[in-house]
Structure 1
């Protein structure tokens, strides 16, 4: 990730995390002054917080006094990591063997998150949901942050043109993520992205943190109705948006399995997958058959 130019309210530093360069954005002015500000990101075994588990987490940023915080670790999910997920984040079963379970990290994570401003991309619909369910499984109280700033929601509220995937937005603001889809790099990128959006839309950040929260939690537009991040995924040609390309494979964008990949359906609901590939499906059966064939090769 590149080193950004220094501006008021921003102090980037570069460090080495798990063998790669990472820029950490330290907010020292404006509405974030005096708060612990942390970029938050998770890598997981899949997309469903009910059945999938965390394999890596990162909290990257600064404390109230400006000191750096860099809390990142691999996590043993106590289950096999699907190949499709490993292809995205590069974390294999051998990498997490012998690592602690997520519940063992919760006391320190809770201390850092409580009262902090948490920044993440699609954090409210993905990362935070995983955290909540992991806390419930461990019998641990969910930490209460001062605020959660979701840069995906923010990009939509600011009506930034184009796709709102993290990589696309970072490219728009000339932020280079050298190790995309690792938790620490993505967490750092969200801080840089937030700062960039604050700089390019100063009128929208003249208020305080509560006003920003009000803007983010207001009525969502129609662009949010497809589900977690669906609107930002490229539609599969000829499916009228009912199937979309994601980093984990082709995703269902409608019905009871919305958000699941075709590969997941092969494991959990083969009958539904057979229906998708049948003449009675709302998707051309040839398209589904070709997609299934290509992912098996």
Structure 2
């Protein structure tokens, strides 16, 4: 089946140094331009982001600093991609919340006014979430083949979650998948330690303001010190601790931050 197009539709995806729309940079861009006659033109380019790629990001997309050190900067290829995208509507997966804002930022930094005002944008993720809901009722139907009666009542949701977890273990226990390095492992086991490691072990505080990196080190997960070790930030910028303690952060976050500071510097706060 061909798409019913009145103008070219450009599918695109970005790999980046991180998830911060303002500060992170593109390390790879791929555009698939589908013409109204369904002819397809594809262009994929790796980009030197001019800033280091955090290991956490490299482990996801497999692109390391060494891979892009001799690649062009986005500024040097911006005109090519602007020309390719000229007159196109845009499509992708999660492009509205991430890829489009990042691409526009990169074009602006390169001095290219990439106007999206008159472009139609299609986000396949939104269609996916609309048509295949990822809520407890949908999980209960998928894993248990039952309709959730009384959804959003505490007891019904609690019992349904219990049944869903049992069904997930029954369905996935022993199944292998590949990690970021291509190594096979078994993620789901009928063991609470293993399931904790799978679903919750990365978070340091309940609000997710601090997480563990791949080395098991506590790093900030937001703001100007994102991906930096908490202890390094507290040593480099002691006022950051005071700012967080006075700021609108969860009490559990402040408690955990204080614990880290006491552990590192071994004195009363």
Q: Using structure 1 for the length normalisation, give the TM-score.
A: 0.51
Q: Which deviates more, 95-104 or 235-244?
A: 235-244
- Which residue in the other structure is 1:153 paired with? 126
CA offset digits 1:88-115 (Å, max 9, x no partner):
1111111112211112222221223233
CA distance in 2, matches of 1:117, 1:80: 32
**Cα contact 1:234–1:246 (8 A) shared by 2:** no
**Cα contact 1:39–1:119 (8 A) shared by 2:** yes
CA distance in 1, matches of 2:63, 2:104: 23
1:88 equivalent among 60, 63, 70? 60
- Which residue in the other structure is 2:228 paired with? 263
Q: How has the CA–CA distance of structure 1 residues 77 and 262 changed in structure 2, closer, same or farther, with 3 Å as cutoff?
A: closer
- Which residue in the other structure is 1:57 paired with? 29
Task: For residue 140 of structure 1, report the CA deviation from its aligned partner.
Answer: 0.9
2:48 equivalent among 65, 73, 76? 76
SS in 1 for 2:228: helix
Over the aligned positions, Cα root-mean-square deviation in angstroms equals 4.4
Structure showing greater radius of gyration is 2
Task: For residue 74 of structure 1, report the CA deviation from its aligned partner.
Answer: 0.3
CA offset digits 1:158-185 (Å, max 9, x no partner):
462249xxxxxxxxxxxxxx999xxxxx
CA offset digits 1:37-73 (Å, max 9, x no partner):
2321111112223222111101125222221211111
- Which residue in the other structure is 1:109 paired with? 81
Structure 2 stretches lacking a partner, 5+ long: 137-177, 181-198, 265-269
User: Aligned pair 1:118/2:90, yes or no?
Assistant: yes
- Which residue in the other structure is 1:218 paired with? none
**Cα contact 1:59–1:71 (8 A) shared by 2:** yes
Q: Using structure 2 for the length normalisation, give the TM-score.
A: 0.55
What is the count of residue pairs matched by the alignment?
195
Q: Greater relative contact order: 1 or 2 (C-alpha under 8 angstroms, separation 6 or more)?
A: 1
**Cα contact 1:251–1:261 (8 A) shared by 2:** yes
User: Aligned pair 1:282/2:257, yes or no?
Assistant: no
